[in-house]
Structure 1
Amino acid sequence: MSVPAANMYDYAAIQQQATALLGEERFSEAEALLRQVLASGSGPIPLWRQLVFAMRPQGKVDESRHILEMIVRTIPGNMGARFDLSEILLSQGEFARGWREYRFRYKMEHTAMIGRHVQSPRWEGQSIKGKTLLIHDEQGYGDTFQFLRMVAWARERSGARVVLEVNADSYALAKRCAGYDDIIRLGTLPPAFDFHCELMSLPLAMGLQLSDLPGSTHYLSADPARVEKWRARLASLPRPLVGLVWAGRPTHTNDARRSLTLSDLAPLAQEGITFLALQKGPAAGQAAAPPAGMSMVSLSDEIRDFDDTAAILTLLDVLVSVDSSPIHLAGALGCPAWVMLPFVPDWRWLLEREDTPWYPSVRLFRQPARGAWGPLLQSVSAALGKLRDGAA
């Protein structure tokens, strides 16, 4: 069957049809439709963008990257394409190009209003000895925990006096982190500063490469008083102690693909393991009805803040979690954690590997296909069995 000439297509209708298919997650059908229309190698950029949206969830990363690179060459001002390209580059470990494109994260229409607008210049990695550098966190809690490691590096590189500004919920943990001269909560008026840098712009400023990781480990620490409190709380529970977090923040753009329900974790249930529910948020209530055969103690209502979570993590045999902030906290503490990843995970977990250079104590379990949690959970269950037998 011959492909109709490009000018025979009603592009607006094709785009509308593709939008409907993508909305229903019928990615292969959307791909087939768009490939036919774009077979000549030409066509409207919005259709090429839709083709990326259809292919990337199917794991077609290289093809998605090539299209995005074409779009960026053609329309350098397409910030959405540049950001999507950054995520692919970073997931492939191409940090130099990835960080350059990632700087456009606050240039898109839907993100421009949430960027921090600072009159002082952004620090670009140069020596600024005798000056003051404000480093401020951004985005989610996990991002803060992951990139706090770079504050000490930035102070050493810049030679500046570093003022660290973090969100109130992370403040106590960050205060025990090295590398700053002053620390303030977000919303507090900072002292005078000469330069600023977002936490997640530090990799670009410092030229972070994959080979530089992990750098410092155990760069966060739990509050000793909280550890003793939780040690007493957990002392009577039989080991191994396995923490569970099955859902991330509902407002996360990829939450539907990364989060589970507690009932989905039924394959993990086995005798001889005490599961501790560390889940917070709307999904925490599911711990009241754990899967059959799962010995569970819910700590959700007792956890007041991240200091409690950090203390608990230091006492567990392992944390098993979807991709959410407790994983990053565990990794930053140097505590053992297993993360259950969707088929197309967030860029920071890279591709096709069971370890992560960011956190030596974290092990990755990946879906073998889109939506295929079953095989992943069986692998986690087998690993838990080995953990239990080793603790016996």
Structure 2
Amino acid sequence: MTDLDQRPATGHRTAAALRRAAPALFVYAGVRALGLAVLAVWGAVAGKSPHTLLSARWDSLWYTRVADFGYGWEVRLPDGSVHSNLAFFPLLPWLERSGSVFGLSYADAGLVVSALASLCAAGGIFAVAEHVYGRRAGVCAVALWAVLPVGIVQSMAYSESLFTALAAWALYAVLTGRWVTAGLLAALAGLTRPVGAAVVAAVWVTAALAAYRRKRAGERPLAAGRDWRMLLGVVLAPLGAAGYVLWVGHRTGDGLFGYLDVQKQWGNGFDGGYAFARFIGEKFTSPAGALAGIGLIVGVAGLVWLYVKGVRQHQPPALLVYCGIVVVLALCASGYFGSKPRLLMPAFPLLLPLAVALARLRTSRAALVVGSVALVSAVYGAFWLHGSGPP
């Protein structure tokens, strides 16, 4: 087959994939539009700019400063600690800087990147869920991701949407044996957020299992072209995260531990969940706080139940490895505890058991469930951003 013959075939496959994903993307766009509309109305009443809330507060400011001034900007707090912008991985600021070519401000470029990335993330989540459980479950998985209580972050100039898009499509590439694509996307995910290590682990574990199965079957490893592509994907996967961490270590003069020192200055670190457990325990010092503590315990138990449910439903190892690491890093890290729901957002495989259950309902009933939760999520998102909000 010539290249000219291949191009129409590729175009047909792309068009077919878009047709399959269209309902999921339509639902996702509708939910996000509802969230933005409620935020706009709330902002008009409260006298606050939705544009500022979405693009020029909290971490969004740090990303735009990296895009504007590069790395090296820091804030020294009264207690002597230093908050350095080296804590923020570079892919989103790079894309924001690229947006200036089109006359956009860095903040507006961040919003555009987030909007496009969130649609790509929805498409990736659909592709993964459809591959594992079928088209209807794929649509439901996207709907559930859209109506998360902190789903408004998907429309902010934050890196969650970008990371989830790269992670979802990397996982889909792993599931379908596209190893070089998986490695490249994993490397880009590693340039987006520290949790990019979860994508790398998913690539490595799946490759190791594939090699083990080949050995058990008596086949020679690396005997075919696809095996070399798998090896190349494995090599490519960690380059993004490793490259940035090593660069930070070189810049700070602290070697391999330079990035960890930067995060420590921000109050972030991995303590196995001790700080989070203590935070929950402190809630029980008052009757009102006890309700919040119970709610947190129920929430963590729900996350564990969903993960176990995914194991019992025989989710592919790539999804289980990726999701498990995202959840562990989110729950077992010290730092600002209000960020944990946002940090859990990329763990979309947790939603697959719920998506399968939702897919079994009649379309009208499933639409009623999603619509009701979407409205609650939109109101909560507006309330959240007008209150404590992220970081």
TM-score, length of structure 2 as denominator length: 0.25
TM-score, length of structure 1 as denominator length: 0.25
Which protein is richer in strand relative to its size? 1
Which protein is richer in helix relative to its size? 2
| Higher RCO (C-alpha under 8 Å, 6+ residues apart) | 2
